[in-house]
Amino acid sequence: MRSTVPLVLTFLVGLFMVGEYFIPHWGYHVITQLLLEWGLILAAAAFLLGLFNLIQVNLPKVLNREEDWGYKLVMLISLAGTLVVGFWGNTGRLNPGEAYKWLFDFVFVPLNATMFALLAFYIASAAFRAFRARNLEATVLLVAAIIVMIARVPLGESLPLVGEKLPQFMNWIMDVPNIAARRAIFIGAALGAVSTGLRVILGIERSHLGAD
């Protein structure tokens, strides 16, 4: 019973939602939108559970002075501080000069940008490893990458002899072999998604339903 009801619900709702694609009637759309809104409400309610999970995982480590408890403490203080400041600011919390807005602009945004900026260094180190010409495939990758990189910078166009042709060749690499490979991935992934969706809707796949 514990898994039968979710299976039946999944089948009915899944079939109904798929049906929207084939029955583009406004009345049908209204009901699917309503179901999606219910989903959003459920997802929003899960944020509260996420908050409890954060506290449940991190607070005991701070109380028991487990390894690296200092990081957890900083996280919990930040969480509590942001919550209090957010509630305190109420609907005007995003107005200039408000504490919540200050936290967002001068703490959250710079930290976010810092993490994103790390990507540049990681790309360099990953590219260094990926572009080593160990075999034929890696060599093709290396040559294609060098052409694309050089053609994308102003220096590439000013190179003697090949300068004019380089951007054209780069465009060909991006538009023909690159797009062909991407489309193959998209088609395969789309078919995989259809069969995964069918497996879930038809109840063949059940591991997501949890323990009996």
Distance CA 37, CA 33 (A): 6
Collapsing DSSP to helix, strand or coil, 97 comes out as coil
Report 12-41 residues binding another protein (CB under 8 A).
18, 21-22, 24-27, 29-30, 33, 39
Amino acid in position 6: P
Report 72-131 residues binding another protein (CB under 8 A).
108, 111-112, 115-116, 118-119, 122-123, 125-127, 129-130
CA atoms within 13 A on the CB side of 47: 7
Collapsing DSSP to helix, strand or coil, 62 comes out as helix
DSSP structure class, residue 177: I
Distance CA 51, CA 55 (A): 6
| Binding-site member from 96, 97, 160, 210 for another protein (CB under 8 A) | 210
Q: Could you tell me which of 203, 209, 207 has the C-alpha nearest to residue 13?
A: 203
Which range of residues in 80-88, 158-166, 167-175, 180-188 is near another protein by CB under 8 A? 180-188
199 makes contact with another protein (CB under 8 A): yes
| Binding-site member from 1, 2, 64, 68 for another protein (CB under 8 A) | 68
User: Mask of contacts with another protein, 128-167, x by CB under 8 A?
Assistant: -xx-------------------------------------
In the bound complex, what is the minimum distance in angstroms from residue 19's beta carbon to another protein? 10
Distance CA 23, CA 8 (A): 22
**Quick one: 27 or 154, whose CB is closer to another protein?**
27
Contact 130, 138 (CB under 8 A): yes
Contact 206, 7 (CB under 8 A): yes
The residues binding another protein (CB under 8 A) are: 18, 21-22, 24-27, 29-30, 33, 39, 42-43, 46-50, 53-54, 56-57, 67-68, 71, 108, 111-112, 115-116, 118-119, 122-123, 125-127, 129-130, 182, 185-189, 191-200, 202, 204-205, 207-212
